[in-house]
Amino acid sequence: MDKRVVIVTGAGIGIGRAAAEKFAGQGDHVVVTDVLAAEGKGTVSDIVKAGGSAEFMPLDVRDTAAADALIADVGQRHGRIDVIVANAGIAHRVPMSEMTDEKWDATFDIDLKGMLRVIRPALAQMREGGAIVCLSSIMGVAYGWDEHVHYSSAKAGVVGLVRGLAVEIAKRGIRVNGVAPGYIRTAQLLSEENSLGPKAAEIASPYIPMGRLGDPEEIASVIGFLASSEASYLTGQVVTVDGGLLPGRY
């Protein structure tokens, strides 16, 4: 096929869904992956209704064999993999006094090692001009987040992954970058159990110079740019997209 083949993990909801729609809207074929089958299929359905090209493939990024099989299948059927958006992740509130090895490892297994499982087998399928975009967080580049130390630590690890891998594969003409979103209007942020809850806009907006939460589509636009030829000399960078929150905290 002439279209670029783009794999987006965690594309059933939030930023992943917005990214999938962004790529499909510009003519790419999107492989939507998620553990949330109904939501992933919904993303594909909406893309197809809008005239785009997409397919759903279930994937739990904790499963190495499943990730290997999915990448092999996509490569065999389409003959190429052009872009990977490593987005799948979780964030659960756990005070350090209650942290167990299992809770810590579960977050790293999805938020950091889950990226490894998808990117590692895909590298053999990627050609010069390919791009990888990994989702970190402001909590991984500049902020501490109480009761989310495991999340902040994993997202800081994503920054190291981006930098190290970018240098390793630069000579192949494949670029690796990251995005560190600030407070974005997603199900995660609006979760009262694990984040700011329904009053997130009221709580966070006074600290954000732009005075509002970001939308998933605004993160998707940056992801799309990083994966495009417009960013052809940009690699090893993590772009913070936070409405001015970090520079505004003086």
Residues annotated catalytic, as ranges:
151
Query: Measured between alpha carbons, how far is 12 from 28 in angstroms, rounded to an integer?
Result: 17
Q: List the one residue out of 46, 49, 62 whose CA is nearest residue 11.
A: 46
Pull the structure tokens for residue 240.
Answer: 């913070």
Query: Measured between alpha carbons, how far is 122 from 70 in angstroms, rounded to an integer?
Result: 10
**Residue type at 149?**
V
Pairing of strands 131-135, 53-58: unpaired
Are 216 and 17 spatial neighbours (Cβ–Cβ below 8 Å)?
yes
Counts for the chain of helices (H) and strands (E), in that order = 10, 7
- The alpha carbon of 212 is separated from its chain's Cα centroid by a whole number of angstroms, namely 22
Pull the structure tokens for residue 157.
Answer: 């690890």
The distance between the two most distant Cα atoms of the chain, rounded to a whole number of Å, is 53
